[in-house]
């Protein structure tokens, strides 16, 4: 870590002018008026439309593909199969097991097998139907436990560990001694089902290959840089002849992190035909593309002393990975590595195994790898509280790790506001007077969590900057930020504007942001691991602090005063000792251009050296962690088994809230998504490998009438290394929603739901289980807000 990477938490000019305010977004009005351009809005002259033929088989060898009839269809200009793009790729350098189109075998229903480019979509669809594929079906693995023990036939030939994608076993502290000496131990099985991102914008790519040999790809990706690298690898083109642009993006949530078939296919077809090519996935294709939350079968054992202090945690996790590796190596680590806060426990052992199955591949979804174990553990904490007759909030308080601490697995915690998060949700939910007192059928539950603000693991190891920006400052009075970061709706371009205006003392409209264009912007690693505010923010401050002294010095020279008297405020420069003397920032920039030549600066950020000194010790190591606590209020209809979530109180420690409105939006969006995963959503496939409901009607995401009242409570712990103290807000606030619902249902009706999703059938089954003592069939309190 260089000195450039820590900039302090204070306002650069004494008091914040933009930071902490509910400012508008840089692209809000463009989106509001329909002017914002998303990938599918791009139409190029002579553009062709591509379509994919997808596998009907879950696991099969491809014996033959006959594309001759498709080629002969009038209007068809290009047909390709796996042989045209045989290079293997994958987001993790050590697990490259994907191809753009299937080569020699298919591994899940819906896997792309062939592609067609035609003059219009109808012709492309007609041509796809003319392609004949001869398959030799192979045994399909649908149950992950079968993949654990059976390796013939293998899903990936030549994979050393058979059908096991990744196995991680790590142990810290004296686990067995702690278990045998514990006063209370709880042990149980938990299941987290599959869920998917369901962004409203389907994946789309447009490619153009110019006669000069430059390939341009516009893609709805959340990581431009990895698409750029992977295109170069798969197409065999030097990276400098490829330009990747992310237009406005219609939601991602992790689901647009991998390079996907459509980027390679449009590029290849554009190169073959000499015409631009667009490919827009249908909604059904988006479901089969997936990369969503991994189903996890989890066994947890937690031990504690009589006072509730945790003494040991043991976890064994089987992860259903689907057909490809994707980010799975990281998932297998995150499933264990990210559990070691906000609670302190001296002994921890986890064993996680990700297996391949013949289903659409899983990948990173909001809270990657850590939402599932968090569910299991936070439910188990409640079970422990019950056993020890402790209040669920109290048992959490007794175990908090605090700030500036080191976790059992060697992660460095800096700022930590979780205690205040618990205080907030306790107070706002009326916990003390309402929990256990709402009558049969209604209850309150709590859970807490921790998540990374970026990671020091840059996917492909390299010593170059993880985040980088460039500033152009010119006499018009405009500062242009060139940022390789991906604004996927979370507002990273807006945050860039706020920070630069703050640092340079400009008005917001004097800063514009150009982002995610590999020709124009320095390399940034993109929108994943909740890294952008933290890392890009620090890079921006680094760049501004190279420009600011030049602007100040130019004015000081002109006024013949000491530089300490020059202050930039919202685009006006004032002399602090003679406030009648002012000039505009644009005039100041002219003076600086005169004095120092054309103005510009780069800024960069790298994480400090972090993590435990063991294999995998850097995975999950973050320069800062965010913290969250939720209280939720539910009612359970004991006649129908239906759970209704009425209120979610979301307290989240995001460090400094650079824009509280955007932070609240992330908190509300996260919590709503968590509630939906618990109660409504289920991504699953039939034994045949067919998706059970690949539409937004069958895969139920909440509408405006399904969504509970969401109460955002921002906690600002001011992180010493974040930009002005900021940390992440986009993923952490999802985690506690799901276990808090289980815990609230326990308060409501005395059943403990350990298997997601919480369908009415499971609720009724639990309510009718033999030996249950809680009353069944009593009147249910009326639904509705309190």
Q: Which is nearer to other proteins, 52 or 317 (CB)?
A: 52
State yes or no: residue 64 binds other proteins (CB under 8 A). Answer: no
Minimum distance of other proteins from residue 32's CB (angstroms): 4
State yes or no: residue 430 binds other proteins (CB under 8 A). Answer: no
Question: From residue 199, how far is each of 30, 48, 516, 785 by CA, in Å?
Answer: 20, 25, 19, 29
Minimum distance of other proteins from residue 251's CB (angstroms): 4
**In 644-703, where does DSSP find H-type helix?**
660-679
State yes or no: residue 38 binds other proteins (CB under 8 A). Answer: yes
List 662, 678, 726, 780, residue binding other proteins (CB under 8 A): 662
Q: How far is CA 477 from the centre of its chain?
A: 36
Residue window 110-149: x/- pattern of binding to other proteins, with contact defined by CB under 8 A: ------------x---------------------------
Strands (E), 432-501: 442-452, 467-473, 479-483
Q: Which is nearer to other proteins, 120 or 187 (CB)?
A: 120
Minimum distance of other proteins from residue 281's CB (angstroms): 11
Task: Report the distance separating Cα 278 and Cα 40, nearest Å.
Answer: 8
Which range of residues in 30-38, 82-90, 145-153, 390-398 is near other proteins by CB under 8 A? 30-38
Which range of residues in 197-205, 565-573, 605-613, 768-776 is near other proteins by CB under 8 A? 197-205
Task: Report the distance separating Cα 188 and Cα 301, nearest Å.
Answer: 7
List 317, 371, 488, 592, residue binding other proteins (CB under 8 A): 488
Q: Can you spell out the DSSP letters for 465-476?
A: -SEEEEEEE-TT
Task: Report the distance separating Cα 580 and Cα 569, nearest Å.
Answer: 14
Q: Which is nearer to other proteins, 13 or 38 (CB)?
A: 38
Minimum distance of other proteins from residue 509's CB (angstroms): 14
Minimum distance of other proteins from residue 669's CB (angstroms): 5
Q: Under 8 Å CB-to-CB from 556, ≥6 apart: which residues? A: 562, 563, 565, 566
Q: Which is nearer to other proteins, 581 or 700 (CB)?
A: 700
Q: Under 8 Å CB-to-CB from 33, ≥6 apart: which residues? A: none
List 360, 392, 669, 757, residue binding other proteins (CB under 8 A): 669
State yes or no: residue 707 binds other proteins (CB under 8 A). Answer: yes
State yes or no: residue 491 binds other proteins (CB under 8 A). Answer: yes
Residue window 244-263: x/- pattern of binding to other proteins, with contact defined by CB under 8 A: ----xxxxxx----------
Task: Report the distance separating Cα 536 and Cα 379, nearest Å.
Answer: 35
Minimum distance of other proteins from residue 725's CB (angstroms): 21
State yes or no: residue 383 binds other proteins (CB under 8 A). Answer: no
As separate numbers, helices (DSSP H) first and strands (DSSP E) second, the chain gives 19, 28
State yes or no: residue 485 binds other proteins (CB under 8 A). Answer: no
Question: From residue 320, how far is each of 290, 549, 605 by CA, in Å?
Answer: 13, 54, 35
Closest CA to 708 of 737, 732, 733: 737
Task: Report the distance separating Cα 319 and Cα 702, nearest Å.
Answer: 26
Helix, strand, or coil here: 9? Answer: coil
State yes or no: residue 441 binds other proteins (CB under 8 A). Answer: no
List 2, 10, 14, 22, residue binding other proteins (CB under 8 A): 22
Please count the other Cβ atoms lying within 10 Å of the Cβ belonging to residue 461.
8
Minimum distance of other proteins from residue 131's CB (angstroms): 22
Which range of residues in 130-138, 297-305, 414-422, 691-699 is near other proteins by CB under 8 A? 691-699
- Contact (CB, 8 A) for 423 and 497: no
Task: Report the distance separating Cα 502 and Cα 534, nearest Å.
Answer: 16
Minimum distance of other proteins from residue 768's CB (angstroms): 33
State yes or no: residue 367 binds other proteins (CB under 8 A). Answer: no
State yes or no: residue 542 binds other proteins (CB under 8 A). Answer: no
- Contact (CB, 8 A) for 536 and 246: no
Please count the other Cβ atoms lying within 10 Å of the Cβ belonging to residue 476.
11
List 600, 668, 718, 750, residue binding other proteins (CB under 8 A): 668
State yes or no: residue 693 binds other proteins (CB under 8 A). Answer: no
Minimum distance of other proteins from residue 310's CB (angstroms): 32
Q: What phi-psi label fits residue 94: left (phi over 0), alpha (psi between -120 and 50 degrees) or beta?
A: alpha
Task: Report the distance separating Cα 591 and Cα 475, nearest Å.
Answer: 9
Residues found near other proteins in the complex (CB under 8 A): 22, 24-25, 27-29, 31-38, 40-41, 43, 122, 197-202, 248-253, 280, 282-283, 488-491, 661-662, 664-665, 668-673, 695-697, 701-705, 707, 710, 712
């Amino acid at each position: 870590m260089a000195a450039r990477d820590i900039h302090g938490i204070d306002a650069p000019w004494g008091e914040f002018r933009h930071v902490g305010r509910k400012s508008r977004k840089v692209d809000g009005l463009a989106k509001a008026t329909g002017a914002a351009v998303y990938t599918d809005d791009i139409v190029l002259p002579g553009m062709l439309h591509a379509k994919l033929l997808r596998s009907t088989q879950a696991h099969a060898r491809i014996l033959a593909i006959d594309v001759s009839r498709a080629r002969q269809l009038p209007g068809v200009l290009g047909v390709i199969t796996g042989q045209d793009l045989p290079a293997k790729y994958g987001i993790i350098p050590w697990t490259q097991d994907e191809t753009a189109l299937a080569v020699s075998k298919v591994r899940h229903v819906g896997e792309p097998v062939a592609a067609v480019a035609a003059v219009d979509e109808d012709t492309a669809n007609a041509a796809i139907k003319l392609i004949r594929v001869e398959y030799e079906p192979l045994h399909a693995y649908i149950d992950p436990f079968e993949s654990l023990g059976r390796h013939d036939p293998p899903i990936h030939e030549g994979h050393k560990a058979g059908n096991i994608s990744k196995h991680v076993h790590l142990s810290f502290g004296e686990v067995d001694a702690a278990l045998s000496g514990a006063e209370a131990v709880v042990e149980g099985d938990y299941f987290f089902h599959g869920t998917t991102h369901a962004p409203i914008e389907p994946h789309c790519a447009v490619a153009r290959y110019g006669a000069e040999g430059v390939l341009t790809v516009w893609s709805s990706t959340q990581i431009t840089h990895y698409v750029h690298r992977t295109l170069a690898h798969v197409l065999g083109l030097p990276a400098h002849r490829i330009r990747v642009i992310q237009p406005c993006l219609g939601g991602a949530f992790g689901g647009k992190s991998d390079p996907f078939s459509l980027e390679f296919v449009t590029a290849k077809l554009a190169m073959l035909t000499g015409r631009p090519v667009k490919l827009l996935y249908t909604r059904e294709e988006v479901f089969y593309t997936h990369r969503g939350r991994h189903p996890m079968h989890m066994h947890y054992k937690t031990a504690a002393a009589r006072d509730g202090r945790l003494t040991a945690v043991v976890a064994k996790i089987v992860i259903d990975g689907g057909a490809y590796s994707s980010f799975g190596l990281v998932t297998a680590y995150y499933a264990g590595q990210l559990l070691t806060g906000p609670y302190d426990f001296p002994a921890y052992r986890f064993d996680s195994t990700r297996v391949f199955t013949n289903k659409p591949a899983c990948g990173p979804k909001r809270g990657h790898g850590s939402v599932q174990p968090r569910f299991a553990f936070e439910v188990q904490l409640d079970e422990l509280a019950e056993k020890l007759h402790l209040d669920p909030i109290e048992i959490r308080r007794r175990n908090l790790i605090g700030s500036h601490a080191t976790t059992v697995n060697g992660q460095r915690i800096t700022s930590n506001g979780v205690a205040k998060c618990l205080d907030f949700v306790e107070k706002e939910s009326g916990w003390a007077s309402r929990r256990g007192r709402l009558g049969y059928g209604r209850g309150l539950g709590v859970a807490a969590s921790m998540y990374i603000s970026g990671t020091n693991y840059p996917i492909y190891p390299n010593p170059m900057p993880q985040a980088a920006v460039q500033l152009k400052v010119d006499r018009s009075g405009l500062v242009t930020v060139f940022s390789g970061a991906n604004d996927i709706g979370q507002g990273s371009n807006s945050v860039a504007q706020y920070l630069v205006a703050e640092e340079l003392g400009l008005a917001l409209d004097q800063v514009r942001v150009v982002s995610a264009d590999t020709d124009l912007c320095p390399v940034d690693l993109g929108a994943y691991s909740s890294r952008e505010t933290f890392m890009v923010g620090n890079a921006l401050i680094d760049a501004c602090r190279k420009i600011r002294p030049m602007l100040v010095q130019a004015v000081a020279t002109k006024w013949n005063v000491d530089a300490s008297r020059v202050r930039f405020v919202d685009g006006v420069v004032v002399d602090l000792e003679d406030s009648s003397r002012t000039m505009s920032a644009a005039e100041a920039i002219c003076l600086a251009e005169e004095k120092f030549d054309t103005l510009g600066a780069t800024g960069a950020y790298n994480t400090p050296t972090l993590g435990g000194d063991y294999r995998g010790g850097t995975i999950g190591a973050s320069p800062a962690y965010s913290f969250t606590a939720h209280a939720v209020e539910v009612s359970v209809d004991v006649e129908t088994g239906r759970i209704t979530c009425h209120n979610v109180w979301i307290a989240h420690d995001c460090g400094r809230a650079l824009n509280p409105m955007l932070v609240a939006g992330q908190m509300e969006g996260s919590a709503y998504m968590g509630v939906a995963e618990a109660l409504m959503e289920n991504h699953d496939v039939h034994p045949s490998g067919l998706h059970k409901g690949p539409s937004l009607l069958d895969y139920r995401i909440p509408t405006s009438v399904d969504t509970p009242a969401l109460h955002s409570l921002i906690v600002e712990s001011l992180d010493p290394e974040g930009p002005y103290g900021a940390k992440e807000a986009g993923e952490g606030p999802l985690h506690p929603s799901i276990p808090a619902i289980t815990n609230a249902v326990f308060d409501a009706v005395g059943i403990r739901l350990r298997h997601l999703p919480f369908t009415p059938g499971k609720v009724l089954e639990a309510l009718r289980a033999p030996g249950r003592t809680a009353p069944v069939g009593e009147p249910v309190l009326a639904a509705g807000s309190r």
